[in-house]
Amino acid sequence: MIPARGSRHRGRGCRENADTGAAWSLLAAVAVVALAGSGTGCASSGVELAREQARQQSAWSALVAPARRDATRTLSWDAALEQMRGHNTKVRAADLDVSRAMEAVEQVKRSLIPTANFEAGYERLFTSGSNLSFEPFTFAGTLFFDVPGLFNYRVRYEAAVLTLTHARLVRETVWRGQVIALYRAMEEGRELQERAARLERAGSALDALAASAPNATAGERGDLAEAGKELSKRRAEWLARAGEVLGLQGARVEFSGTGVPPLPYGDPDGRPRAEQLAQLPLRLAALDLLALRARQLGITLQQWPEIDASVSSPTLYESGPGQGSYWSPRQLFAGVDALWTLDTQGRHASDKRLLAGETSYRREVLEQEAAASASKLRAALDGLARTDRKLEIVEQSLSSAGASFRPELLDARKSLLAERLDWRLTIWFFDDTQWPHVST
């Protein structure tokens, strides 16, 4: 290593006094303020806060201003998926977790790269008497190699890989949930459009009758107006849900229906068995249990002796006032240290007891979650079969029913179709084979 020479004199300017025990968020805020003040002088945190609040106020004023009637955005299935990938907050949060985990894996690899430090300085020496001597500038560079033990490096790397795997599985879970929410939003939007079209046709029919029987249509117009209000309320609620899924809060959206994939499981013979499904939650559960075993191993390893091996090198090159020195292989030093700490305070035993309790609790939670998923999946498969049988009976009745019975049968069919959609969406979430074409 090349050590630095001399003391360093730091220029004084505007400095913030920071408590070493302050929270990270406060330190980050101070750093932002310091960066903001670097080009405009030393601005206090209060001034910067006021400026930022003014900018937020300007944006807020634009949001609460009288709304313009923006053009309606019409989205196909693929366009809606793309919009959701880039702007859905839940999906983006899961993406950020994956990015952090990927960086952690790369950081483990980059930890093998040596670090380089460079330092320069100027010294002025005041000697006794009236003579003054000036030493020249000094420059030093340091290379630090951190070569971890094979076991240590492998543990760090595998821990980072497992964290990345967990983040990807969580992102996949979030993505599936949001895609199903989008599918529901599209179906609900289609239903609202059909209902609006029926109300419009009913209004046109009343207009046609108004000339010949104005009194007879008054009651129907009142019912039609109430239905229109209810439809407007449902549409506003639907727009809020669709905007949250798409990341377009407050926007006017419509779905064209283009490219919407047909839901599988329409054919009873092609439906998967329950044991073939739910592989994603099973992988997450296995990962949780593996993490607990890794923690148990870590507690055990803490009781082992610590062995540190080091190799130090003297100065490669050093230049000072009137002198210089070069690296010599005779000045290499190697050493090995071993340290074993007796657990007199019982910390390891306490950690083992706490982890044993946590492991038992976590296993029970995973078993309960698995039982709940299995019950939900069995209910979906069985419910879909029952709904199919009921729907078949209703369809047969419609083909031969009189006019007085048709409205009731049509309502029953509509309810059964909605129920059938729910069952199929539940099965879709757990079926890994159906997700590669809509993966993130």
Question: What pLDDT, on a 0 to 100 scale, did the predictor assign at position 11?
Answer: 37
Question: What pLDDT, on a 0 to 100 scale, did the predictor assign at position 277?
Answer: 92
Question: What pLDDT, on a 0 to 100 scale, did the predictor assign at position 215?
Answer: 66
Question: What pLDDT, on a 0 to 100 scale, did the predictor assign at position 165?
Answer: 94
At residue 176 the predicted structure's pLDDT band, cuts being 50, 70 and 90, is very high
Percent residues over pLDDT 90 in the chain? 38
Is the predicted pLDDT of residue 233 greater than 90, yes or no? yes
* Nearby residues of 152 by Cβ (< 8 Å), 6 or more positions away: none
- Which residue has better confidence, 266 or 132? 266
What tokens does 309 get? Answer: 């091996």
Question: What pLDDT, on a 0 to 100 scale, did the predictor assign at position 322?
Answer: 60
* Nearby residues of 342 by Cβ (< 8 Å), 6 or more positions away: none
Is the predicted pLDDT of residue 21 greater than 50, yes or no? no
Question: What pLDDT, on a 0 to 100 scale, did the predictor assign at position 35?
Answer: 53
Question: What pLDDT, on a 0 to 100 scale, did the predictor assign at position 407?
Answer: 86
* Nearby residues of 138 by Cβ (< 8 Å), 6 or more positions away: 4, 5, 6, 120, 121, 122, 123, 319, 320
Helix, strand or coil, per DSSP, at residue 70? coil
Question: What pLDDT, on a 0 to 100 scale, did the predictor assign at position 237?
Answer: 93
- Which residue's entry shows tokens 């030493």? 135
CA dihedral 285, 289, 291, 297 (to 10 degrees): -170
- Which residue has better confidence, 257 or 161? 161
pLDDT-wise least confident of 272-281, 306-315, 407-416: 306-315
At residue 80 the predicted structure's pLDDT band, cuts being 50, 70 and 90, is very high
Per residue in 95-135, pLDDT tens? 999 999 999 999 999 888 888 888 777 766 665 555 555 55
Question: What pLDDT, on a 0 to 100 scale, did the predictor assign at position 427?
Answer: 95
Question: What pLDDT, on a 0 to 100 scale, did the predictor assign at position 126?
Answer: 60
Question: What pLDDT, on a 0 to 100 scale, did the predictor assign at position 16?
Answer: 41
| CA distances from residue 404 to 1, 398, 400 in whole angstroms, order as listed | 96, 11, 12
Question: What pLDDT, on a 0 to 100 scale, did the predictor assign at position 340?
Answer: 86
Per residue in 372-414, pLDDT tens? 999 999 999 999 999 999 999 999 998 888 888 888 988 999 9
Question: What pLDDT, on a 0 to 100 scale, did the predictor assign at position 317?
Answer: 63
**Ranges of each domain in the chain:** 69-112+147-260
- Which residue has better confidence, 299 or 136? 299
Dist. CA 391–CA 412, nearest whole Å: 8
Is residue 274 within 8 A of residue 381, CB to CB? The reply is yes
Is the predicted pLDDT of residue 238 greater than 70, yes or no? yes
Question: What pLDDT, on a 0 to 100 scale, did the predictor assign at position 10?
Answer: 37
Radius of gyration of the chain (CA): 35
Is the predicted pLDDT of residue 18 greater than 60, yes or no? no
- Which residue's entry shows tokens 């179709």? 417
The reported pTM is 0.77
The closest alpha carbon to 79, from 261, 235, 259, 239, belongs to 259
pLDDT averaged over the chain?
81
At residue 418 the predicted structure's pLDDT band, cuts being 50, 70 and 90, is very high
The whole-angstrom distance between residue 243's C-alpha and the CA centroid of its chain comes to 18
Question: What pLDDT, on a 0 to 100 scale, did the predictor assign at position 223?
Answer: 81
